[in-house]
Structure 1
Amino acid sequence: MQRLKQDLAEALREEELFWRQKCREEWLRAGDRNTKYFHNCVKGRRIQNRILMLMDDNDQEHFSEGAKGSLAVDFFQRAIH
């Protein structure tokens, strides 16, 4: 049973890799031109990489860009000292 689970997990990883490579291939073919496809890819990556919320030391959520920036600066200043 354990071997079947490992085989399934490996097959799923390979399928995910296949689709990533397929997407990359399409990007290389069409993404370097100023196309609608290129702009949608950029917009999608921007949305995917966005930090929506940060939590402070008191477990309070902060959504505004200013608050998130302040939390990040405070965090890294404390890490340095």
Structure 2
Amino acid sequence: MHFNIYVDDEIGRQLKFLAEQKGETRNALIRRVLREWVQKKNGDAQWPALVRDFQGIAETPPFEALRNTLQPPAADPLA
């Protein structure tokens, strides 16, 4: 799909700068950001597969198992 958008000069300069920093064209940057925004608004954003598929480290105990070894604070930090 093809359409035009109009942005002010400052946004145009910032888009150009960011695109150059990322090694992308302005159009590619705009497409990527719009895709991410639409996915987020639609609730389609997901964790990356690396995070979703992580099974943990077998030899590491769950963090809950270490709670009983914690020392209580010497004084109430909120008092």
What TM-score do the two structures reach when normalised by structure 1? 0.30
Q: Greater strand percent: which structure? A: 1
Instruction: Tell which structure's C-alpha radius of gyration is larger.
Output: 2
